[in-house]
Structures are given as C-alpha cells and as structure tokens.
Amino acid sequence: MIEIKSLYKSFEDKDVLKDINFRFDEGKTNLIIGQSGSGKTVLMKCIVGLLRPERGEVLYDGRNFLTMKKKELNGLRREMGMIFQSAALFDSLNVLENVMFPLDMFSNKNYKERVKRAQFCLDRVNLIEAQNKYPSEISGGMQKRVAIARAIALNPQYLFCDEPNSGLDPKTSLVIDELIHNITKEYNITTIINTHDMNSVIGIGESILFICDGKKEWEGTKDDVFTAQDKKFNDFIFASDLLKKVKKEEDREIAEQ
C-alpha cells in the first residue's frame, strides 16, 4: 500500500498539487487520471521520488519516503518496478539482455540464475521466443511486454506505469491492460497507472483517482463511473461519443428497474 497525505507541490509560486490525499491499495490496479496539465504526472513523479513536494507525506507501507536516509531509499527503490511511456528499452541490447538489466545491476544471483529469472519473466508475458531479437525487430506492443517483463524481474512490491498504452492500437492496449492487471493480482503488487485511456478506466480501474486543477476531484472504482455525480469528472470521462452512448444506456436500464 502507498498512501499520500496532504501533498503539495509548486513551481515558481504556482500550486500544481494542492492537498492531495489518497491510498493506493495493494493487489489492485490503481489509476491516476485527469486532463493534460491537471497535475497527475507531477503526482506520479512525487510518489517515485523524481520530484520533492513542499509539504505532505508519501508512505510506502507506513514508511515515509520523504524522510528516508540514502541506504533506506536505495533499498526501497529496489522494490519498485517502472514501465515508461515509450517502453525505454536499450536498442543495443537484445530482449533477454534488456530484461536482465535490473538483475545485472541489483541482484546477487549468478549469471545462470539471472538468465533463468529473465526467461521466466519473458515467458510470463508470452515473449520467450523473442529473447534473442532486438527492440527494432519487434512491434510496439511486444516492446511494452518486454518492458513489463523487465519491470517485474526483481519481484517488485510496487509497480508504476506511465501511459503504458501510449501509441498502441485498441486491441494491443487491451492485452497490455489485462497483462498488468493479472500480474498485479498474481504477485499482490501495489500498481499505480497514470493514463488517458478510458478503456483502461472502464476495464481495470479497481481504484481511480481523478485530479482536476491540482486537486482530488473524485475517487471511486470502475463500477462507480457511470453513476458518478461529479460534473467535472463526467465532463472528462464522457467526452467521447462512445462512452456517452454507454452512459445513456446505463441510465435507461436504471430508469427501467
């Protein structure tokens, strides 16, 4: 579990995050959503330590990230897995070597053990047959799956995903969503996903934080989306014609009950 309490972040006297309070639960796919410029990316960066807030707490299972000493910080970072928007694979390394990279850096395992662990992770994302290929030789969706394999190589307790479906077609996006969701459940990880993808919200949003103008505007689950009464949230969620139609159908069914 990761809990943020009374978090504030400013840039040049402009408040970007204002009194954010939220709990990201273990074993759930926790989503941060909001319009561009709403502060969700800044929040993610504060949680992982890329930015330091002016005030507030970031608690990892009760441990305050913001007051940790260097040794404790290094230990906590080894418990984190990251999936970047662009996959961020090393072009000069093949798929297996990319997945082995964090193991080479932080694991005490010998070479054979590191290879075995990397191959296990690749098999988990159904990519063992691509282990000798280079990133330029595989599709964007496959690159994202390699990134997921690399992110879980060190058995993280916390998994952070920054726009994992960016640049992918809808079908591949669903595959990535399902994979992240299943891995979260399988390993009981605290997963936080920063996303614009409304399919992800409806599909795997077990815990959703909606930020608007730097403030927590709404929170709930995917089951609460169609009955939410918050205007700003509804304006954001139902901007697409497809979701408007779905909501109208939901409203009609409720009225007939």
DSSP secondary structure string, 138-169? S-HHHHHHHHHHHHTTT--SEEEEESTTTT--
Chain segment 143-167, per-residue pLDDT in tens: 999 999 999 999 999 999 998 888 8
pLDDT at 37: 84
CA distances from 145 to 125, 150, 195 (A): 6, 9, 17
Which 8-state DSSP code applies to residue 56?
E
76 Cβ contact partners less than 8 Å away, ≥ 6 residues apart: 60, 63, 65, 68
What would the mean pLDDT of 33-57 be, rounded to a whole number? 91
Distance CA 142, CA 159 (A): 19
Q: Residue 209, class by beta-carbon neighbours within 10 Å (0-12 exposed, 13-18 middle, 19+ buried)?
A: buried
The answer to whether residue 241 is domain-embedded is no
pLDDT band at 251 (very low <50, low <70, confident <90, very high): low
204 domain residue, yes or no: no
The pLDDT tens digits for 207-219 are: 999 999 999 999 9
**92-106, 200-214, 242-256: range with lowest mean pLDDT:** 242-256
* Residue 256: predicted pLDDT: 58
Q: State both tokens at 58.
A: 């970031």
d(CA 32, CA 196): 9
pLDDT in tens, 166-180: 888 888 899 999 999
Is-contact 58 65, C-beta < 8 A? yes
> Is the pLDDT at 232 greater than 80, yes or no?
yes
CB 210 within 8 A of CB 43: no
Evaluate whether residue 106 is within a structural domain: yes
Q: Does any domain span residue 137?
A: yes
> Taking the model in full, what pTM does it have?
0.87
Q: Letter for the amino acid at 31?
A: L
Q: What percent of the chain has pLDDT over 70?
A: 93
120, part of any domain: yes
**In the 8-state DSSP scheme, what is residue 55?**
E
Mapped onto helix, strand or coil, the DSSP state of residue 62 is coil
Q: Is the pLDDT of residue 246 over 70?
A: no
Residue 87 has pLDDT above 70, yes or no: yes
SS3 label, residue 123: helix
pLDDT band at 85 (very low <50, low <70, confident <90, very high): confident
Given this model, what pLDDT does residue 84 score? 84
Residue 132, domain extent: 89-155
How many other β-carbons are positioned within 10 Å of the β-carbon of residue 19? Answer: 14
Alpha-carbon distances, residue 5 vs 51, 61, 169, 227, 233 (angstroms):
16, 13, 36, 27, 22
Does residue 32 carry a pLDDT above 90?
yes
Please indicate, yes or no, if residue 9 is contained in any of the structural domains: no
Identify whether 135 is part of a domain: yes
How many domains are there within the chain?
1
Whether the predicted pLDDT of 25 surpasses 60: yes
End-to-end CA distance of the chain: 38
pLDDT of residue 240: 56
**Cβ count near 77 (within 10 Å):** 16
pLDDT value of residue 12: 85
Decide if 45 is inside a domain.
no
pLDDT at 245 (0 to 100): 55
